[in-house]
Amino acid sequence: MKIEEEIKQRKRFKNEFVKLDVNMMFTASWLGGLKSEILKPYKISWQQFNILRILKGRHPRPAAIKTLTERMIDRTSNTSRLVDKLTKKGLVSRTVNENDRRRMDVTITEKGLELIETCSKELEHTMTKKLSSLTEDEALKMNELLNKIRT
């Protein structure tokens, strides 16, 4: 469906760049909504999933809150608050860093590893299915174009 139809816009966009901006924002929100629905039964948010995925990639090494914030997709999230919630759920653990007592080290737990494995499989399956309306060449080109926008 065209972006104009999705957002019920009657007027034309000022130019293709404005249209592209709205289209990317809408699509990012749409994809985020899909991910949120997939993660809902597991009682974690997309941002919490992102933290777990980062920690899984570092496992068994811990990460500081600052490191998590730098590597997150949504950098506007309150990383400390997200880690608190994950700690209460038993998905991560926090310990004081031996070298810097002001710094907390965050590590994914076994329970967190199991959850991220299950969620990742389901997300990958669903997102691949949704994005498969593109060919692999189109996906490659889209990735190149998105990277170009950010440079």
What percentage of the chain carries pLDDT values higher than 70?
100
Q: Summarize pLDDT for 98-119 with one digit per residue, the tens.
A: 888 788 899 999 999 999 999 9
Q: pTM to 2 decimals?
A: 0.87
Residue 8 has pLDDT above 80, yes or no: yes
Token code pair at residue 18: 């404005």
Determine the pLDDT at residue 11: 87
What percentage of the chain carries pLDDT values higher than 90?
83
Question: For residue 11, is it within any domain?
Answer: no
Question: For residue 13, is it within any domain?
Answer: no
Determine the pLDDT at residue 17: 96
Question: For residue 33, is it within any domain?
Answer: no
The total number of structural domains that make up the chain: 1
Residue 89 has pLDDT above 90, yes or no: yes
Question: For residue 123, is it within any domain?
Answer: yes
Question: For residue 25, is it within any domain?
Answer: no
Determine the pLDDT at residue 50: 95
Token code pair at residue 1: 């469906």
Contacts of residue 29, defined as CB under 8 A and 6 or more positions apart, other chains included, come to none
Residue 77 has pLDDT above 80, yes or no: no
Question: For residue 37, is it within any domain?
Answer: no
Element (H, E) at 43: none
Instruction: Find, among 37, 53, 1, the residue nearest to 127 by Cα.
Output: 37
How far apart, in whole angstroms, are the C-alpha atoms of residue 83 and residue 52?
9
Tell me the β-bridge partners of 95. 105
Question: For residue 80, is it within any domain?
Answer: yes
CATH for 48: 1.10.10.10
Residue 76 has pLDDT above 80, yes or no: no
Determine the pLDDT at residue 7: 87
Query: What is the rounded average pLDDT of the residues 38-44?
Result: 96
Residue 137 has pLDDT above 80, yes or no: yes
Q: Secondary structure of 45-74 in the HEC alphabet?
A: CHHHHHHHHHHHHHCCCCEEHHHHHHHCCC
Instruction: Find, among 71, 79, 82, 72, the residue nearest to 44 by Cα.
Output: 82
Mean pLDDT of the chain: 93
Q: What angle do CA 18, 19, 20 make, to 5 degrees?
A: 90
Question: For residue 87, is it within any domain?
Answer: yes
The domain in which residue 68 lies consists of 43-149
Backbone φ, ψ for residue 145 (5° rounding): -65, -40
